[in-house]
């Protein structure tokens, strides 16, 4: 049995479009518990339609945490999210409740369940410096820089993985220690995290063809709800192209349309294709990284999770 100090939560995860939010809303209402969003884009204010953020009506029914956490000019990461999630779990546990963690960002869940080495914050101006270099010389130029300071990390990354390459350079420039070295400290942190959190994971699964259809239908529904206007607002912020929200699936393709690179119909088609590919990557990630999880369709998981919550 877990100790009294152990935090307790339940995670319902899976690929985009599988219906996690709908199931979670039903479960949370029955058990009178809150929902903690595990979505790397829902933390940003203003990104509502394209992230399928809980509506005002849904939030009135069930308390949702870790949505609209920060302005889009800022950047959140897995460590920030995990720290915030642990605090919410602790507060809910003190009230005798077990919160429901819901989403599809696997790395955020892993940060919570396995922990991250406590990497110091990036120094002011460091990220801006490397973003400027990326704009001037391109990502391969930064990749060459990374190979000189952290060859181990570079070997694991693709040459065009701008976000992670910049992160590696920023960590080294800010701390004088490579990101690979920080990662090597992970084993001890992981052991401590597992001992302090009791969080069974449930992966919602949907047949491939059904999911493909759901993704296309949902994309069209979001367009009808005004998603393009939301993307126009995002474009008006003039954020750097390296910012995570500028690379988010769906947003990126619609931004290409607004910048004249393709027609709206082409952007929608590309967006649907990109979303399907993203869902495939998510399914692969959860299959490989959550080997101990319970998996199944909605009717199966609903009964299993209700037994845990009630």
User: Domain of 200: which CATH number?
Assistant: 3.40.50.300
How many domains are there within the chain?
A: 2
C-beta separation of 215 from 16 below 8 A? yes
> Do residues 97 and 17 both lie within one domain?
yes
Among the candidates 168, 184, 200, a domain finishes at: 184
pLDDT of residue 1: 37
The answer on 280 and 213 residing in a single domain is yes
Query: pLDDT value at position 119?
Result: 78
1 in a structural domain: no
| Domain end (from 184, 201, 231) | 184
Q: Are residues 150 and 250 in the same domain?
A: no
Task: Note down pLDDT in tens along the chain; length 310 residues.
Answer: 344 478 999 999 999 999 999 999 999 999 999 999 999 999 999 999 999 999 999 999 999 999 999 999 999 999 899 999 999 999 999 999 999 999 999 999 999 998 776 678 899 999 999 999 999 999 999 999 999 999 999 999 999 999 999 999 999 999 999 998 987 876 666 666 666 899 999 999 999 999 999 999 999 999 999 999 999 999 999 999 889 999 999 999 999 999 999 999 999 999 999 999 999 999 999 999 999 999 999 999 999 999 999 8
Do 199 and 289 have their domain in common? yes
Same domain, 112 and 242: yes
Residue (of 96, 66, 100) closest to 82 by Cα position: 66
For helices 264-289 and 208-224, what crossing angle results, to 10°? 140
Backbone phi and psi for residue 201, each to the nearest 5 degrees, phi listed first = -110, 135
Residues 78 and 19 in one domain: yes
* C-alpha to C-alpha distance for 220 and 225, rounded to whole angstroms: 9
**Are the C-beta atoms of residues 25 and 102 closer than 8 Å to each other?**
no
Whether residue 277 sits in one domain with residue 219? yes
Does 12 reside within a domain? yes
By residue range, what is the domain housing residue 140?
126-184
The verdict on residue 2 lying in a domain is no
Q: Are residues 145 and 275 in the same domain?
A: no
Tell which of 166, 184, 202 closes a domain: 184
User: 205 and 217, same structural domain?
Assistant: yes
CATH code assigned at 177: 1.10.20.140
99 and 154 assigned to the same domain? no
How deeply is 111 buried, as exposed, middle or buried, from its count of CB atoms within 10 A (0-12, 13-18, 19+)?
Answer: buried
Residue 160 structure tokens = 């065009």
List, as one string, the DSSP characters of the chain. ---TT-EE-EEEE--TTS-HHHHHHHHHHHHT--EEEE-TTTTBTT--TTTTPPPHHHHHHS-EESSS-B-TTS---HHHHHHHHHHHHHHHHHTT---EEEES-HHHHHHHHH----PPPPPTTHHHHHHHHHHHH-HHHHHHHHHHH-HHHHHHS-TT-HHHHHHHHHHHHHHSS-HHHHHHTHHHHHHHHHHHEE--EEEE---HHHHHHHHHHHHHHHHHTTHHHHHHHHHHT---TTSGGGGSTTHHHHHHHHTTSS-HHHHHHHHHHHHHHHHHHHHHHHHHH-TTSEEE-HHHHHHHHHHHH-
The answer as to whether 105 is a domain residue is: yes
pTM: 0.81
Give the pLDDT of residue 255.
98
Please report, to the nearest 10 degrees, the dihedral formed by the alpha carbons of residues 268, 16, 234, 161 taken in order: -90
Burial class (CB in 10 A: 0-12, 13-18, 19+), 274: middle
- pLDDT score, position 297: 97
Ramachandran angles phi, psi of 44, nearest 5°: -95, 130
Same domain membership, residue 160 and residue 304: no
Whether 109 and 196 map to the same domain: the answer is yes
């Amino acid at each position: 049995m877990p100790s009294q100090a152990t935090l307790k939560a339940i995670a319902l995860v899976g690929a985009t479009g599988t219906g996690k939010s709908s199931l979670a809303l039903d479960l949370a209402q029955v058990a009178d518990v809150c929902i903690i969003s595990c979505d790397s884009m829902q933390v940003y204010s203003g990104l509502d339609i394209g992230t399928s953020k809980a509506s005002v009506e849904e939030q009135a029914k069930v308390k949702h945490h870790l949505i609209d956490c920060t302005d889009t000019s800022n950047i959140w990461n897995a460590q920030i999210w995990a720290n915030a999630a642990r605090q919410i779990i602790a507060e809910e546990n003190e009230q005798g409740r077990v919160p429901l963690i819901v989403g599809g960002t696997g790395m955020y869940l892993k940060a919570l369940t396995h922990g991250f080495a406590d990497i110091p914050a990036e120094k002011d101006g460091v990220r801006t410096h490397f973003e400027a270099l990326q704009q001037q010389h391109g990502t391969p130029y930064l990749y060459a820089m990374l190979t000189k300071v952290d060859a181990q990390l570079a070997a694991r990354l693709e040459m065009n993985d701008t976000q992670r390459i910049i992160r590696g350079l920023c960590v080294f420039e800010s701390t004088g220690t490579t990101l690979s070295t920080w990662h090597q400290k992970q084993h001890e942190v992981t052991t401590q995290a597992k001992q302090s959190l009791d969080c069974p994971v449930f992966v919602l699964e949907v047949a491939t063809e059904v999911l493909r259809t759901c993704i296309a239908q949902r994309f069209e529904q979001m367009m009808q709800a005004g998603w393009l206007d939301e993307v126009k607002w995002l474009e008006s912020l003039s954020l750097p192209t390296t910012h995570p929200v500028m690379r988010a699936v769906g947003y990126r393709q619609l931004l290409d349309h607004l910048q004249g690179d393709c027609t709206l119909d082409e952007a929608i088609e590309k967006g649907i294709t990109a979303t399907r590919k993203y869902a495939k990557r998510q399914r692969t990630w959860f299959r490989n990284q959550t080997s101990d999880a319970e998996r199944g369709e909605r009717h199966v998981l609903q009964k299993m999770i209700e037994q845990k919550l009630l």
